[in-house]
Amino acid sequence: MIKRVVIALGLLLIVAGGFAQGHMPNRVNTYSDEGPGTGFLKENLFIGGSLSLGYSSYDFNVGANPEIGYSLNKWLDAGVVVNLNYNSERADPNFNDNIRYRSFNYGAGLFGRVWPLPFLFFQAQPEYNFINYSAKDMYPGGGSASQTTNAASLLLGVGYGQRIVGQSSFFISVSLDVLNSQYSPYRDFNGTVLPVVRAGFDFYLHPRR
Looking only at the bridges linking them, the beta strands covering 76-89 and 99-117 are antiparallel
- Quote the pLDDT of residue 209: 66
- Indicate the length of the chain as a whole number: 209
* Distance of alpha carbon 36 from alpha carbon 26, whole angstroms: 22
* Residue 132, SS3 per DSSP: strand
Given the candidates 3.30.565.10, 2.40.160.20, 3.30.70.1290, 1.10.357.10, the CATH classification of the domain at 2-204 is: 2.40.160.20
- Quote the pLDDT of residue 21: 42
Q: Where are the beta strands (DSSP E) in 17-75?
A: 45-55, 59-73
What percent of the chain is helix, strand and coil (3-state, nearest 5)?
15, 55, 30
* Distance of alpha carbon 5 from alpha carbon 54, whole angstroms: 7
The stretches of the chain forming alpha helices (DSSP H) are 2-23, 93-96
Q: What residues are paired with 159 via a beta bridge?
A: 121, 173
- Quote the pLDDT of residue 178: 95
* Distance of alpha carbon 78 from alpha carbon 68, whole angstroms: 9
Per-residue pLDDT of the chain (209 residues; tens, 9 = 90+): 444 444 444 444 444 444 434 444 444 444 444 444 557 888 999 999 999 877 777 888 899 999 999 999 989 999 999 999 998 989 989 888 999 999 999 999 999 999 999 999 999 999 999 999 999 999 998 899 999 999 999 999 999 999 998 888 999 999 999 998 988 988 877 788 888 899 999 999 987 76
User: At residue 109, what is the residue type?
Assistant: G
User: Whole-prediction pTM value?
Assistant: 0.77
- Quote the pLDDT of residue 28: 40
Sorted by where each begins, the domain ranges of the chain are 2-204
